[in-house]
Structure formats: C-alpha cells, structure tokens
Structure 1
Amino acid sequence: MLVPVDLTSVKDVLAQIWTAATSPVPSPAQPVVLAAGLVALAVVLVGPVWRTARHVITIAHEGAHALVATLTGRRLDAIRLHSDTSGLTISAGRPRGFGMVATTFAGYVGPGLVGLGAAWLLRAGYAVGLLWLLVALLALLLLKIRNLFGLWSVLVAGVGLVGVSWFLDEPAQAAVAYAVTWFLLLGSVRPVLELQAQRRRRAARQSDADQLARLTGLPGLFWVLVFLAVTVGALALGATWILGPVPLSA
C-alpha cells in the first residue's frame, strides 16, 4: 500500500533547512573556538580515538578522489570504505594523463582542502550552512558507495550531522561546526605522516604517492612532501581564518 506524502510538509521542512543554512549566525566566543580545536587535536593524537575518527578523514579522502574524477571527465564507478580505515575509489577513463594524475593526487589533500573551505564558511558566519552542506555532500557520496561498511559509515556521519543541524540550538551547532572544521584541518596531516612511515617499511607500494610516481616519473617522496605542504598550508591558513578577527562585512 502506498503511503501518501504531504508535499506541503516536505516543502516547509526544506524551506526551514534553506533558511537556516543561508542565515549567518554569530561566531562562538573565542574560548569555545579554542576548546573545539583542542578537542579535535586530542582526537587526532590519541591513538584509540583516532582509529575510529579516522573514518571521517577516509570519507573526505575518497570523496575528493570521486569529485576530481568527475570534474576531469572520468566515469565514477564505485567508492568503497573499509573497516581498517582504508578506502578505494574506482573510476574509468584514460590510465594516464591529467585526469588520472589529478584524481590520484586529490585524496590526501582532500580533507585539508575541505577543512579550509569549511573555515572560510565559518569566517563568513555560515556555521549551520556548513553542517547542511556536509549533509548534502554525504548524501551524494551515498549514491556511489558499493559496500555495506561504506554505507554504514556515511549514514552514521550523515545522521549525526542531521541530528546536530535539526535539534540543537545555534550556539551548539556553531560549536560542532568549529570542531568538525578543526578536525578536518588537523586530521588531514596525520595520514600523510602515516603514509610515509608505511612507505619506509615498504608496506604501501600501491599508495597514492607511489601511483603518482609511476604516472609522472617523479619520486613518491616528492608527492608525500607535496601532500604535507598542502595539508599543513591548509591548516595554517584555516587556523588564521578561524582565530583571526571577523571581517566587518561578515
């Protein structure tokens, strides 16, 4: 039996979400912003917590591969997220050339660049809009997830963000948005360091850096250093935007 859908109610909900997402909200007090950063830093540094939270970075990593593959004209076939925090994005197209290089490069720098974009939105006052934007991006990602653990990971992240965006008040939403942004910025650096540690043990011969080495002729270490420069640069600039004075126009 088909259950009738009240289109008016759906439109009202969407209108409410749009209004919340496009309305600037006051930035939290500086102690709240700093506390959010310290919490994110602790998550990144404490091993057992990091092993769970790292799934968020993997989602951003594989999402970046998928986005760049699509933008460069490759056909995106599947995204898989695994319980060991690894992931795989499968796209079809030329095995070499700019599209393949850009797609491979995007993964490790993706979380930091997403964090940098989030910091820009926070600086403009759109903390709630950032949360809803992340929900929308996760919903798009779901369309290409092809394994159960990946579906579970993205759904848990999405439901969590929806809960924060719908049920909490604006100050709490802003605090969560700052914590998520700090985590993306800080959490983007550690996987690059872990990658090089694995490469020294010869345990990551199929890593993005080594694939880029085969595609470009430049050594894998060069690409690790580029990943590190981009992620640390995004962290530095994002922190400046988050902690600096808010522009008068914001």
Structure 2
Amino acid sequence: MDVLLEFWARVSARNSPLPPATVWLTVAAAALLVLVPQAWKLTRHVITIVHEGGHGLVAALSGRRLQGIRLHSDTSGLTVSRGRPRGLGMVLTLLAGYTAPALLGLGAAWLLGRGHDVGLLWALLAALALLLVQIRNWFGLWSVLVTAAIVFGVTWFGTETVQSVFALLVTAFLLLGALRTVVELQRTRRRRGGTASDADQLARLSHLPGLFWVLVFFAVAGACLVGAARLLALA
C-alpha cells in the first residue's frame, strides 16, 4: 500500500512553472526538431507512432476489429482493422491519424497548464504500453520501446526541471509536427497526383475532394496549436 501511495504521489505531483526564458527556449528547440531536415528525419517517427495510434484507438472505439499496427523505417506506418469498408466508423478512423498528434498535444498542454508535468509523462508511458501490444513488426517494436525508454528515463530519474522541460518539449513537438506532416501530405499528393493517403481515402468515402480533407487536418492542427498556446499562456 505504501508503494502505491508513493507512486500516486509521484504521478499526481504538481510541478512549478518554468521561467519564461526556459519555456521559449524549449519551444524553439521543438521547432528545430521539426524544421531541421536531419533532426526531422529521426524525430518524425514519434509523429508516426501517434498517427498510427490514433487510427488504432478510434478504430477500436468505433467498433472495428483492430488487427495490428506496423511502423516502418521510412517513417510510414500502417494500421489494419476489420469492419465495414464504409460508414461513420471508417471515416472517423481515417480522420484520426493526422489529427491525433495535434489533439494529443492540446491535451498535453491542458495538463501542463495545471502543473501535471509528471502526470503527462506517465500518461504517455501508459499509452505507449497499450500501443506496444498491437505492434506487428520488429522495427515498430524497436521504435516504441526506444521511445518508451526515453520517456521512462526522464520520468523516473529526471529532476523536476528536467521533467518539466521534457514534457513541454514533447508537447510543442507534437503540435508543430502535426502541422508539418499535413504540409508534407499535400506536397506528396500534388507530386504524385492521386495517392492512397488518408485524405484520398476520405475523398472516396465522402465524395468530397482530397484537398478538403487536407484543409480539415490543417485546421485541426492550427486550432490545437492556438488553443495550446493559450492554455500555456504563450499567446
């Protein structure tokens, strides 16, 4: 019982706010991780994990049968589920991928705004653990385990300041990374003409153009970024 109480005290502890200079430097570091090509090539795997996790979560919640998730070394991914090929469940499942990083970033900002920096890190660990059992390839397993190991290391061994900086870095990275992936999606669609992207699959289901769905993804990402900035008193 004492161990459980101690663990709960860790999870529910409130961190002190970071100095404004530290906050802006952390946000700038997150921007560099998104904007610098060499860094983005590596860190984009985190966005893919969240993207495919979003597909998987909504597929399960909408009554589809989740069969597994694959993550690839080129930062692409694939979530396989069984169910009706059309209908609301399928539409929501397709919508969930590109919106998941932004929505997770907004939720993370809500927790940070209330001082629950450590609670956010433990929540991320729990989500990674749930995702791990759905991974169906070795690279995906490796990606999730490495990500979880980094989050756990900071959560368990980091000082309060390190935990707060890391939690803010992850939050800002998710929000900014969500915008970049939508921009990349449209660039790929324009270069290849028609693709099997989420936007094009939604276009076939809804009879609305793929560009409409790209704009929906971008609007959600932008709204989440603005909302998170307000929650964190950055705007």
TM-score (norm 2): 0.97
Q: Equivalent residue for 1:49?
A: 39
What letter matches 1:17 in structure 2? F
Q: Equivalent residue for 1:134?
A: 124
Q: SS at 1:26's partner residue?
A: coil
* Higher Cα Rg, which structure: 1
Q: Equivalent residue for 2:232?
A: 242
Q: SS at 2:208's partner residue?
A: coil
Identity of counterpart residues, as a percentage?
55
Structure 1 residue 33, shift from structure 2 partner:
1.0
- Mind listing any 5+ residue stretches in structure 2 that lack a counterpart? none
Q: 1:155 aligns with which of 134, 138, 145?
A: 145
Determine if contact 1:64/1:106 at 8 Å carries over to the other structure.
yes
Does residue 1:202 correspond to 2:192, yes or no? yes
Q: Equivalent residue for 1:184?
A: 174
Aligned CA RMSD, in angstroms, stands at 1.4
Q: How does 1:1-250 map to 2 (within 5 A)?
A: 12=3, 14-202=4-192, 205-244=195-234
TM-score (norm 1): 0.91
Structure 1 residue 17, shift from structure 2 partner:
3.1
Structure 1 residue 204, shift from structure 2 partner:
5.9
Could you tell me how far apart the structure 1 residues matched to 2:103 and 2:151 are?
20
Determine if contact 1:78/1:89 at 8 Å carries over to the other structure.
yes
What letter matches 1:83 in structure 2? S
Q: SS at 2:17's partner residue?
A: coil
CA displacement, residues 156-214 of structure 1 (integer Å, 9 cap, x when unaligned): 00010000000011111011100110000111000100010010111661000000001
Q: SS at 1:89's partner residue?
A: strand
Work out the number of aligned pairs and report it.
Answer: 235
Could you tell me how far apart the structure 1 residues matched to 2:54 and 2:115 are?
25
